Structure 1
Amino acid sequence: MNETIVIFLGIRVTAWKLIGYTGVFLFTSRWFLQLWASKKAGRPMIPRLFWILSMAGSILCLLYFVFGKNDSVGILAYLFPCGVSGYNLYLDITHKKNEEKKNAPPSNQAHGK
């Protein structure tokens, strides 16, 4: 995975770097998504996809820094955001399920039959 795939503008690109570049792209794109969602709503918004992009980008960057570069600074930089994103995604999903249950119409089934 450390073999050179291509040299682009003097930068040696390997499979690990492609994984890292993809992670950085996903992690950064979440802010453009958040900006678009907030502009559309006319107030600050964080859509669920924000947390998904955060987790996916963090995981890919962690893979790059653990296996591709073996860099403890990069590992620490993406380890915490990955955990926070996972927790917030969990909260978002469970909150949505609880809201759906609360707003569901009562069941028409007779009790005890």
Structure 2
Amino acid sequence: MVADIMHGLGAYLWSLFSGPIDLVVLVGLLGQALFTARFLVQWIASERAGRSVIPLSFWFFSLGGSAVLLAYALYRRDPVFILGQSLGTVIYLRNLALIFREKRRAREKP
């Protein structure tokens, strides 16, 4: 029984990754790569600082990855994926707005 499940899983994964890769799949992979890069950026920045930090580039990678993945989800008409990426995109935009507002206020202070 376990062997049948493993065989079925292997066949399923093979069918997912062995088919032709079209432009839409490449866009989805690009979005996922951007989204993954944000964790690498955050990890490297934290290691360098010796504490947990979130660099500005983390939010740009988050926004870019989320926006591309949202476009991919909309094209694929996947409601679960659309809902998940929609909220993230709003949160990343808001964080960037707060960061830039804080920087602007710091420049304006005498």
TM-score (norm 2): 0.80
SS of the equivalent of 1:11 reads coil
AA in 2 matched with 1:44: S
SS of the equivalent of 1:13 reads coil
Superposition pairs of residues 1-113 of structure 1, within 5 angstroms: 10-67=18-75, 69-102=76-109, 104=110
AA in 2 matched with 1:46: I
CA RMSD of aligned residues (A): 1.2
Q: Distance in 1 between matches of 2:19 and 2:32?
A: 16
TM-score (norm 1): 0.78
AA in 2 matched with 1:29: A
Is the strand fraction higher in 1 or 2? Answer: 1
SS of the equivalent of 1:46 reads coil
AA in 2 matched with 1:82: T
Q: Unpaired segments of 5 or more residues in structure 1? A: 1-8, 105-113
Q: Find the counterpart in structure 2 of residue 111 from structure 1.
A: none
AA in 2 matched with 1:61: L
| Structure 1 runs (4+) greater than 6 angstroms displaced | none
- Residue 12 (structure 1) shift: 2.3
Computing the radius of gyration from Cα coordinates, the structure with the larger value is: 1
Say how many residue pairs are matched. Answer: 94
Is the helix fraction higher in 1 or 2? Answer: 2
Percent identity, aligned pairs only, is 33
